[in-house]
Amino acid sequence: MLGECNYSSDTDAKAAGWSCVVAAAFNTVHQNSKRRTDAVPAALHTNLKKVDKNKFGAIGKVNAPSKLLRVGVDVDEVLGSFLSGLNTFIAEEYLQQHKESEYHVYDFMKIWRCSQAVVNDRVHAFFESEHFNRGISPIPGAHEALQNLSFYCHIVVVTSRQHVIRQPTLDWINQHYNGIF
């Protein structure tokens, strides 16, 4: 059964169309998550109902990526728990305790109550730490959901990470999500 769609097999879900399949794949990612993510599957479900399936041919990996719908996936807080590692680093190195819920925006000056120069120094120190190199855990269930979704969509990584951590980011993605992107 695929997520909320209640089909007995992938074949039945494919026959029903992409909208349900993609929504089900995303629901699988966050089934056990505490984060509010129901808007993502709902948005995909709504938008994919408008896709002309005949235009894209048969559904599945047999299609060239250019024939499949592209879905962008962010790295931080979608593939990996960046804030958890950063927050632990800040607590240990600078003795500042913050809840992850305080990071509702990536404006660390407001959260850490310091200047932009101090924020830059701390973030770059984090990039060189073991908290960054080994402390970013994959989001539970993301790999499996993306694997399911990859049969129906061409998945690409979208991030605003700094160029200075490009190679470590690519290495991390290859280590935890090899073969998906």
Active site amino acids: 74, 76
What is the C-alpha separation between 158 and 114, in angstroms, rounded? 29
What is the C-alpha separation between 43 and 55, in angstroms, rounded? 21
83: its two tokens: 């804030």
Cα 65 to Cα 24, 112, 138, 148: the distances in Å are 21, 43, 25, 15
What is the C-alpha separation between 49 and 155, in angstroms, rounded? 18
C-alpha dihedral over 70, 53, 20, 174, to 10 degrees? -30
